[in-house]
């Protein structure tokens, strides 16, 4: 393991004013996204759509530090025959890869899941590194509901995250550690705060046991939010304050950076809340974004599968990348959002 190289890559992934583009949707998820805009989910259409994002050169160079890819995408070539990994590298961004096999039902724990994919992972990591990946992602899913999460769900997922992270570092790949507490449901922000704290404390305990070097990883957590169906929604400032409080209590300062997931938040909500946290300051890590839908929804709608719309789609992507780049510096405002739109 080359810890200096792992730290170099991890630090570059959370560079000031830059964040990660999560373009790692599974086949089922990308089909839902394409169905919503009336586009057939063929391999060619998926390639064309992702290529138009990666070819948005200025936005990629200025605001995107890395791209999380799906297994299909890391093997694909652009329309001109250039491997998509090379297209990404040419913008200065770092290619990465989603390596988990998805969340499956956890035995005897109704409503809870365990993320699978550890079997054969070492061999897959070796192949992905040869294909150009320099970091990986594994997502664990923690749901909040009546009587859940359970101790088994928290511990099982934390243990799997730690084993994955250790295997990544063994192959000189930076692990993105993603324990996502879902924002579905009607739970309060205080309930989310308690569960997020429990999940993060357990994850870092397991990372310690697995001998994962914190200097060579990136954390991808949820923000502390009330459930989407909660009757009491709260201002962005409260979300920022509670999220920072949990992170300070749970995350060692050795971690180079924290790249938040957007979950079910709207584009502007995800931007505004990241900005609110960076305006608070006073933390030892770089706080940035690792957004999928919050970066891609607007360009998907603008594109709608039509070649004539590529420029409009790239403009929409550039706008969201720029807004989140500002938020990662604590320099975004609602006025800038409106003026730049």
Instruction: State the Cα–Cα distance between residues 6 and 94, nearest whole angstrom.
Output: 13
**Going by DSSP bridges, is the β-strand pair 113-115/103-105 parallel, antiparallel, or unpaired?**
antiparallel
Backbone angle region of 92, left / alpha / beta, with phi > 0 → left and psi within -120 to 50 → alpha: left
Cβ distance 288 to 49 under 8 Å?
Answer: no
**Nearest-CA neighbor of 208 among 174, 255, 247?**
255
Consecutive H or E run containing 156: helix 151-170
Among candidate residues 51, 220, 242, 337, the one labeled active-site is 220
Instruction: State the Cα–Cα distance between residues 244 and 233, nearest whole angstrom.
Output: 18
User: To 5 degrees, how large is the angle CA 105–CA 293–CA 311?
Assistant: 145
φ and ψ of 256, to 5 deg: -65, -35
Among candidate residues 25, 51, 112, 178, the one labeled active-site is 178
Active-site residue flag, 269: no
φ and ψ of 98, to 5 deg: -80, 130
User: To 5 degrees, how large is the angle CA 297–CA 302–CA 306?
Assistant: 125
**Going by DSSP bridges, is the β-strand pair 19-23/286-291 parallel, antiparallel, or unpaired?**
parallel
Give Cα 249 distance to the centre of its chain: 22
Cβ distance 38 to 45 under 8 Å?
Answer: no
Beta-ladder partners of 305: none
251 DSSP 8-state letter: S
Active-site residue flag, 130: no
Could you tell me how many residues make up the chain?
A: 341
φ and ψ of 127, to 5 deg: -65, -45
* Catalytically annotated residues: 178, 220
């Amino acid at each position: 393991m080359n810890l200096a190289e792992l730290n170099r890559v991890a630090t570059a992934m959370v560079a000031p004013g830059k964040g990660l583009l999560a373009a790692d949707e599974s086949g089922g998820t990308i089909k839902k996204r394409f169905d919503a805009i009336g586009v057939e989910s063929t391999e060619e259409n998926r390639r064309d759509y992702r290529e138009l994002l990666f070819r948005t050169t200025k936005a990629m160079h200025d605001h995107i530090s890395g791209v999380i890819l799906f297994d299909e995408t890391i093997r694909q070539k652009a329309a001109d025959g250039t491997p998509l990994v090379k297209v990404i590298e040419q913008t200065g961004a770092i290619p990465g890869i989603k390596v988990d096999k998805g969340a499956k039902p956890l035995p005897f724990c109704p409503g809870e899941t365990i993320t699978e994919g550890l079997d054969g992972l070492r061999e897959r990591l070796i192949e992905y590194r040869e294909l150009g990946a320099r970091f990986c992602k594994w997502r664990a899913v923690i749901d909040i509901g009546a009587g859940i999460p359970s101790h088994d769900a928290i511990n099982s997922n934390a243990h799997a995250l730690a084993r994955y992270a250790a295997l990544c570092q063994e192959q000189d790949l930076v692990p993105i550690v993603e324990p996502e507490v879902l924002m579905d449901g009607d739970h309060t922000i205080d309930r989310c705060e308690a569960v997020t704290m429990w999940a993060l404390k357990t994850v870092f305990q397991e990372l310690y046991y697995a001998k994962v070097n914190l200097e060579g990883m990136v954390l991808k957590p949820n923000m502390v939010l009330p459930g989407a169906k909660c009757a009491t929604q709260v201002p962005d400032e409260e979300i920022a304050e509670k999220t920072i409080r949990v992170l300070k209590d749970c995350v060692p300062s050795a971690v180079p950076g924290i790249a938040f997931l957007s979950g079910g938040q709207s584009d502007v909500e995800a931007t505004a809340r990241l900005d609110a946290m960076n305006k608070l300051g006073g933390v030892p890590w770089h706080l940035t974004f690792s957004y999928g839908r919050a970066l891609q929804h607007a360009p998907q709608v603008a594109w709608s599968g039509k070649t004539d719309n590529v420029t409009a789609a790239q403009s929409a992507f550039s706008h969201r990348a720029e807004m989140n780049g500002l938020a990662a510096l604590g320099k975004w405002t609602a006025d800038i959002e409106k003026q730049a739109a």
